[in-house]
Structure 1
Amino acid sequence: MDKAEFELIAKSVQAASDDRKAAAVIAYAFGEPPGEKSKDRCWIEYAAAAALLHALEEATPDKATRKSLLQAAAKHILADFLPIIAPEEAEAFIKAAAELLASVPTPETLTAGSIKKSVHMIPKAVNVLPKIPIAPTPKEEPAATAAVTVAKSRGKEAAVYVGLRAELAPIAPRLTVFDLSVMQAAASIYASGTKTFSSNQLYRALTGADAHTRITSKATLEAVKKSLDTLQATIITIDAEQQAALRGYKGYAWNKSTFKGYMLPMTKLETAYYSGNKLAASCDCWRILATPPALEYATTIKQVATIPQEVKRLPKGVSATVNNICIRDTLLYYIHLNRGKGTKLNYSTLFEAAGVDTSDRRIYHKMKKAADSLLQYWQEIGFIADQTDVIESSKNDTIYIS
């Protein structure tokens, strides 16, 4: 194992240890865990991280392997905890250590998208976020800034209330559609089991590229980094109490009805990235510490679409610009929101929803061409039906997706 990989593992485990220690303290002090984890699970994960830290302190990079680190961690667990836990319970601690170690990418996957499928969150309460201003006052809980009607019950509308606020000082007035795309890509990496990632890896997951695809847009990569800073510092609150009480949603796994936390609960790791097995340069890596609240909410109400990375790939002629990514993900939202029913929308509606300014007719036609290329590509790979039509007239261009 080279020094850079060893360092990445050490910093990832340290970040996980700090987070799990804090969660365990809160859980046992107040009798209730701070997130979706149980008290026992918080304790198990903290103990597993501590054992791995011991193993890392004793190891040297040139002689260490992931297997040897796990074996050393297992020895620490057995030595430290067997007096207070049953032997069969030790398996849970060792398994947690193995999962933590596996959540740190290898040098080969750190520059790759390293995921086969993406998650795409469909709830209106998630997709309305770009329309909500980020409250600038960090010390006070903001009033709900958006009420999203999800259904009607006994003649009354049931709403989900969504609010955003900044942690310290607002670094953006509001989220953008591109921020949502970055959040979806990071959540996809998290859902795949990898919790530490680089901005380069996220770029590839976002654009559907693989390890062999060159990063073609430095501007988009910089936009990804800026978006991560915004998402890390923005706190979301989703109050779904009315939805949880609905008859049609009572059978869902409502462990809670309010989902709150950072848009991406993560910490930044100043470390390195790789080209193949060789250290390329220092870069920013991130460690996701808990399930993003939007993903937890979308999963609870079973409105998460699983999309093959092939679908996220931008076809030939569609460059990896911020606008094109927003067009793609907005189309995916409309397609999955209307699965089995078909949807009809005109281009101006699509571009407005994607947050793309098409007041310049040249940009309008450029974005229209990108949308048409995406639809044609999705037909070719069988993602959408062959009979999808683009109906055009002199007054109104309409896309009908069957």
Structure 2
Amino acid sequence: MHNEYELITKSIATAADAARRAFYEEVTALSLGKPSAGKRDLQQLLKEHLTMTILKVALGTMTEKDFTREKLLKAIAENASEDTLQIVRKVLKSIPTPETLMAGSIKKSVHMIPKAVNVLPKIPITPKEEPAATAAVTVARNRGKEAAVYVGLRAELAPIAPRLTVFDLSVMQAAASIYASGTKTFSSSQLYRALTGADAHTKITSKATLEAVKKSLDTLQATIITIDAEQQAALRGYKGYSWNKSTFKGYMLPMTKLETAYYSGNKLAASCDCWRILATPPALEYATTIKQVATIPQEVKRLPEGLYVTVNNICIRDTLLYYIHLNRGKGAKLNYSTLFEAAGVDTSNRDTCYKMRKVARALLKYWQEIGFIAGETDVITGNRNDTIYIS
């Protein structure tokens, strides 16, 4: 495919730089005797760094005209070990084809359940040179004592936004879902489809929502999160978990933006904004460590017929998903006012509230129809008291 060479070149250059930095950061940590030193396999980091250098050099010997993925892999295979080839295959697999970037979707989404993640919209984003505003999220109480996770947000330079929104969390979850599927290079169109549950060739129906996605990606790329879970890691119920570390810090989406790439079909050419994720997003790493990540079919993210793909509707959907996962089997009650406040929806307007209730009911009905939640005995809406029951 014409111009696939450009996408491969930029993605590999970014991946090679990330591998180099990861190796030398660990070497520095070990030499300084930092507590974090030795947490990663130095030999494996060196192998990845050298492999990416080899891959970058091999790609540099090819021209756009004679390039194919198969030729690149064959050129490396002539003098490479099986370990090296495995790394190369993994990297190439993480770079989708131009067709996938323009129309691709994923089969499953991840949904992060920790309170320390869902509290993020309530925390101000402070400039890098100022002390971060930190929220203490209680995760357990024992004999009058509380164990808390401390969460803070800072900007790389000046904050792009005063704070994250619920929609930003939805975009972050969608990007994390793409990353969890094995893809590290993605386009705004691909993320839009992961966010909305659209299948591979569904037309993008809302340019406003697509623009909101792009704006959100810029915010997430420039915002640094710190999750200090030291107290949680020391709790009896969490000690057996795979704690490689108890503090998770980095950009909300650790990624770099690739220059606008152009892909040509048989007749037409289209532009495509692309990003390359460099490492596991800290919120996903934390949620995975404490086993609070739900995997759901993509069709659950799809908005049912009659609902438009708007920022508000996506926020209602993902907030409702959060409460359902948080309260399964507990017989909990959820007031619409609580749902709307958590979703960041303006409740001062009666018409807006009425419309949002219809959105919530349509989502619940759709999820019952596809079997994601059980019938009306499990999740129903109370006509008199405006309550959603979750059992």
Question: Does TM-score exceed 0.5, indicating one fold?
Answer: yes
C-alpha distance in 2 between matches for 1:36 and 1:238? 18
1:352 match: 341
C-alpha distance in 2 between matches for 1:334 and 1:228? 25
Question: CA 1:135 to 1:36, structure 2 compared with 1: closer, same or farther past 3 Å?
Answer: farther
Question: CA 1:22 to 1:283, structure 2 compared with 1: closer, same or farther past 3 Å?
Answer: same
1:242 match: 231
Query: Does structure 2 conserve the Cα–Cα contact (< 8 Å) formed by 1:182 and 1:227?
Result: yes
1:133 match: 124
Question: CA 1:73 to 1:216, structure 2 compared with 1: closer, same or farther past 3 Å?
Answer: same
Aligned equivalent of 2:94, options 98, 103, 119 = 103
Write out aligned runs for 1:269-348 (5 A): 269-272=258-261, 274=263, 280-348=269-337
Query: Does structure 2 conserve the Cα–Cα contact (< 8 Å) formed by 1:48 and 1:73?
Result: no
C-alpha distance in 1 between matches for 2:237 and 2:15? 37
1:6 match: 5
TM-score (structure 2 length as normaliser): 0.94
**Which amino acid in the other structure matches residue 139 of structure 1?**
E
1:83 match: none
1:216 match: 205
**Which amino acid in the other structure matches residue 11 of structure 1?**
K
Identity of aligned residues (%): 74
2:28 match: 29
**Which amino acid in the other structure matches residue 182 of structure 2?**
G
1:19 match: 18
Aligned length: 385
- Whether 1:48 and 2:51 are equivalent positions in the alignment is yes
1:85 match: none
C-alpha distance in 2 between matches for 1:92 and 1:49? 12
Deviation of 1:342 (Å) = 3.3
- Whether 1:67 and 2:70 are equivalent positions in the alignment is yes
Deviation of 1:174 (Å) = 0.2
SS in 1 for 2:244: coil
2:188 match: 199
Query: Does structure 1 conserve the Cα–Cα contact (< 8 Å) formed by 2:26 and 2:40?
Result: no
**Which amino acid in the other structure matches residue 64 of structure 1?**
F
TM-score (structure 1 length as normaliser): 0.91
SS in 2 for 1:248: coil
SS in 2 for 1:247: coil
Deviation of 1:140 (Å) = 4.7
Structure 2: 5+ residue stretches without partners: none
C-alpha distance in 2 between matches for 1:277 and 1:226? 31
C-alpha distance in 2 between matches for 1:29 and 1:278? 51
**Which amino acid in the other structure matches residue 130 of structure 1?**
P
Which digits, 9 at most, give the CA deviation of each residue in 1:121-177, with x for residues without a partner? 0000000000000112x13552x5100000123441100000000011111000000
Query: Does structure 1 conserve the Cα–Cα contact (< 8 Å) formed by 2:2 and 2:264?
Result: no
C-alpha distance in 1 between matches for 2:165 and 2:17? 31
Query: Does structure 1 conserve the Cα–Cα contact (< 8 Å) formed by 2:2 and 2:263?
Result: no
Query: Does structure 1 conserve the Cα–Cα contact (< 8 Å) formed by 2:26 and 2:38?
Result: no
Structure 1: 5+ residue stretches without partners: 79-89
Deviation of 1:257 (Å) = 0.2
Question: CA 1:246 to 1:273, structure 2 compared with 1: closer, same or farther past 3 Å?
Answer: farther
